[in-house]
Structure 1
Amino acid sequence: GGAGLAAAQTELANRTRALNNELQKIDQEQARVDLGMGVSALIPSQRFGAGLFVSGSARIAAKINYNDQTTLDQLEDLARNTVITDIDDVNALYDTANDADQLQSTVRAVGSAYSQVGLSMSHNFTFFGHDYALGVSPKMVDLRAYDFVTSVDEFESDDLEDTKVSESKFNLDLGVASFLDDDEQLLVGLSVINVVPMEITTKPGRDNTNLGPGFAPQGIDIELKPKVLAGISYQGASYELAADLELTKTEEVFGEGDTQYLGVGAEYDLAEIFQLRAGARYNIAESEDVLLTAGFGLRAAGVTLELAALGSTDANTVGAGLQFGVTF
């Protein structure tokens, strides 16, 4: 009857308002996916070690620019104030709502990919009576980026490929490490990743949809700057404790915030076969929740299998990692 119809209209209006409020909360918020993989072959030695490595990582980030507040306000007003007496009123309400469903909100997706292939070399030497290990990794680095803008109902991830920009350049990693005690349990190290800076600027593409006035975004600068890290570890009889700190800050690219991580971890070795691990990482450049990690390893007959999981305390970040190795 009429009372039930009025109640349904009120419920529809209330849900429209709630949806509008929730969408306004995620305006300019970012969703991000990170992927990475690598393969290396190493030849260890007491005095000189060498190895070949290939690795890559990618990130896809999307941000919503919410522009449909007015549309949902109008729909809420229609649902709350339209007086329905016959089927013609229902049809008129439907037609008005259907005319207002052309979404104006947009999504911008930015992807970046980093890949490298190089040679790792290490050499032990003595300086003023103290032993050090020096590592040098010459490599070729490929940096590429994608940037696409479209309406929320037209987005296709394949559109990113048409906006690719890239640069390849020779680069270098450096590192030095030394034990602080005669028992060789307390180890400290310092490394510089990507000594040669690199930078590319995205070229935003867009579809043919009318995205609204003023929506012609500028390109985003993606920089690969040298990163300096310091670390310390202690090796016990069946356990190991470690901590590392990024001494340089990585500036944000697309709204993800600056990063500069402090990490701590521990490993317990059971019978030199099973390893249990736990750790935590905190971004000292931003006020973020702690990222917790846990994992286990298996070493037997020259085969190594390691599995790890991670998650933030606010449950907004989750991840997993798998590593497989063979020693012969």
Structure 2
Amino acid sequence: MAFKISKLSRLSRSAVLPVFLLAPFSAFAAGNYYDARNDAMGGTGVASSTYGTAVLANPALMTKAQPEDDVSIILPAVGAQLSDKNKLIDKVDDLTDSVDRYQDIARGGISFADIPRAQAAAGDLANQLRGIKGNEAFGTAGAAVAVTIPNSVLPFAFVTKAYGTAHLTAAVSQGDIDYLQSVADGLRIPQPGDEERLTSAGLGRGAIVYDYGIAVAHEFMIAGHPVSFGVTPKLQKTYLYNYSASVYNYDKSDFTEGRYKNTDTGFNMDAGVATDVGDNWTLGLSAQNLISRDIETKVISGYKDTYQISPVVTPGVSFHTDRLTAALDVDVTPTKRFKTQGESQYAGVGAEYRLLSWLQVRAGYRADMKSTDTNVFTAGFGLSPFNKVHLDLAGMKGDDNTWGAVAQLNFTF
């Protein structure tokens, strides 16, 4: 049941972290990566990323490294975001306990002495089902590792990342509620096998996409003006999960089992362009996942869905001085997911102020122009002692019980 939503964190542990440990693993972040600096600044980055994180947002910005800049290593960037408007997570354990109590009493038949306990357990379970009927929760998680080697001719980077999304729904049958309420009201006595007539189920869809890429960039003179271009060809492997289980057969650990999972491998590419206008302005354009791909889930209980990977094109602009960077990014194409879910199209604005040479504070706002996802306020800070170690943290908070966090560690050598 969408009880599994209770543990988007469990999904993260069972899918995201092992991938990260092997070296790769949104959503959702606004796009398909998490970057603590960019996410703290409203999900911007197309024109404001540093050379060491450009491979995640716009590979063209790798040319912005200065002669004194060294090799940059992201090891790692990790993040997650969850929206749970109905507080489904808080209801999960209570529901599971109610199912267990009712099953223990009803299984194998009920004696006269058991009737009061059966009525109480049935009433409790009916109330729990009413409380989650139609509830949904959404979550994303991601991780990345990247190595960027700057130079004046052809800066390049190795990147491996993964981003995942999960959408879970409680599909509760009114017939189940009516049956359990009739037991609670003393109008019916449960009989062995009655649990087979209950049809309430949980529907869960999940996707994890792994990217393994090599990015290159170069600055060209066009009509006497420097313009940088970057591309990231990448191998892309996708794992899809289509989970459906009766309330009586539900098991939290089943979501990622093989019978609900299928995989697909293909080729894709990211690209970007950037140019400076005067001393304080940068314009950028990013296009991620230039090759569209539609991948079908397994058919489970007669149900299947299609996960859509499609180009996401985002122009951006940044204003920067020695102490201040401000940025604006606006998607001109939607972010697609499963076909049964709505599309999103993001706009973000944010700023960073460098209080000290080793301390930066950031804030921003990210909105979904299609009103599918919750709009969020973002904030964070960065610590960069000696400009060799960079620790960046970010948080996101929005309506509908939406929250998220990102942590990132960079090294420059």
Q: Does 1:166 pair with 2:263?
A: yes
Match of 2:286 in 1: 191
CA distance in 2, matches of 1:14, 1:241: 56
Counterpart of 1:52 (choices 158, 163, 169) is 158
Matched, 1:147 2:245: no
Distance change in 2, residues 1:33/1:97 (3 Å):
farther
| Residues 151-300 of structure 1 mapped to structure 2, 5 A cutoff | 151-156=246-251, 157-158=253-254, 160-181=257-278, 183=279, 185-206=280-301, 216-217=302-303, 219-253=304-338, 255-286=340-371, 289-300=374-385
1:62 pairs with 163, 168, 174, which one?
Answer: 168
Give the CA deviation at 1:30. 2.5
Please tell me whether the aligned partners of residues 203 and 244 of structure 2 are also in contact (alpha carbons under 8 angstroms): yes
Q: 1:252 to 1:121 in 2, by over 3 A?
A: closer
**For 1:86-116, what per-residue CA distance to the aligned partner results, in whole angstroms no more than 9, with x for missing partners?**
xxxxxxx7x4498766642011222211011
Give unpaired runs (5+ residues) of structure 1.
1-10, 83-92, 207-215
Q: Closer, same or farther in 2 for the Cα pair 1:17/1:117, shift >3 Å?
A: closer
Alpha-carbon spacing, 1:171–1:282, altered in 2? closer, same or farther (3 Å): same
Q: TM-score, normalised on structure 2?
A: 0.64
CA offset at residue 285 of structure 1? 1.5
- State the structure with bigger RCO (CA 8 A, min sep 6), 1 or 2: 2
CA distance in 1, matches of 2:254, 2:407: 27
Q: Contact 2:289/2:311 (CA < 8 Å) preserved in 1?
A: yes
User: Deviation string for 1:244-303 (max 9, x for gaps)?
Assistant: 111101234164421110011111111121111111111102265421111111101300
> Partner residue of 1:86?
none
- Is structure 2 residue 146 aligned with structure 1 residue 40? yes
Q: Distance in 1 between matches of 2:121 and 2:242?
A: 37
CA distance in 2, matches of 1:147, 1:117: 24
Q: Post-superposition shift, 1:76?
A: 3.5
Which has the larger displacement, 171-180 or 283-292? Answer: 283-292
> 1:146–1:204: 8 Å Cα contact kept in structure 2?
no
SS of the residue 1:31 aligns to: strand
Check the 8 A contact 2:351/2:362 in 1, yes or no.
Answer: yes
Checking the alignment, whether the CA contact within 8 Å between 2:204 and 2:243 is kept in structure 1 is yes
The structure with the larger Rg is 1
Change (3 A) 1:21 1:205: closer
List per-residue Cα deviations over 1:161-215 (Å, max 9, x = no partner). Answer: 223222222221111001111x2x1111111111122221111335xxxxxxxxx
Root mean square deviation of aligned Cα: 2.8
- 1:55–1:289 CA distance, 2 compared to 1 (3 A): closer
| C-alpha distance in 2 between matches for 1:12 and 1:202 | 37
The equivalent residue for 2:400 is: 314
Using the alignment, how far apart are the partners of 1:122 and 1:264 within structure 2?
26
Aligned residue identity for 2:396:
L
Matches of 1:166 and 1:99, distance apart in 2: 37
Q: Secondary structure at the match of 2:227?
A: strand
TM-score normalised to structure 1 length:
0.80
Distance 1:73 1:97, change over 3 A: farther
What is the rounded CA distance, in whole Å, between the counterparts of 2:154 and 2:163 in structure 1? 29
Work out whether residues 75 and 97 of structure 1, in 8 Å CA contact, stay in contact via their aligned partners in 2. Answer: no
Unaligned runs of 5+ in 2: 1-119
User: Could you give the per-residue CA deviations for residues 13-43 of structure 1, whole angstroms, max 9, x where no partner exists?
Assistant: 997775564343x2xx432331110011111
User: Could you say what secondary structure the match of 2:384 adopts?
Assistant: strand
Q: Secondary structure at the match of 1:48?
A: coil
1:14 to 1:222, Cα distance in 2 relative to 1, 3 A: closer
Q: Does 1:303 align with 2:409?
A: no
Structure 1's 97 and 265: CA in aligned 2 closer, same or farther, altered over 3 A? Answer: farther
The residue that corresponds to 1:212 in the other structure is none
More strand as a share of residues: 1
4+ runs of 1 displaced by more than 6 Å?
11-17
Matched residue SS, 1:171: strand
Instruction: Tell me which amino acid in the other structure corresponds to 1:158.
Output: D
Q: What SS class does the counterpart of residue 45 from structure 1 fall into?
A: coil
Report if the CA contact (8 A) 2:123-2:180 is conserved.
no
Q: Is the alpha carbon distance of 1:132 and 1:76 closer, same or farther for their aligned partners in structure 2, counting shifts above 3 Å?
A: same
2:171 is aligned with 1:76 = no
Alpha-carbon distance between aligned partners in 2 of 1:20 and 1:116, rounded to the nearest angstrom? 40
1:48 to partner: Cα distance: 2.5
Percent identity reads 28
The one-letter code sitting in structure 2 at the alignment partner of 1:284 is M
Separation in 2, partners of 1:180, 1:204: 52
**Number of residue pairs aligned between Structure 1 and Structure 2:** 293
Q: CA deviation at 1:326?
A: 0.6
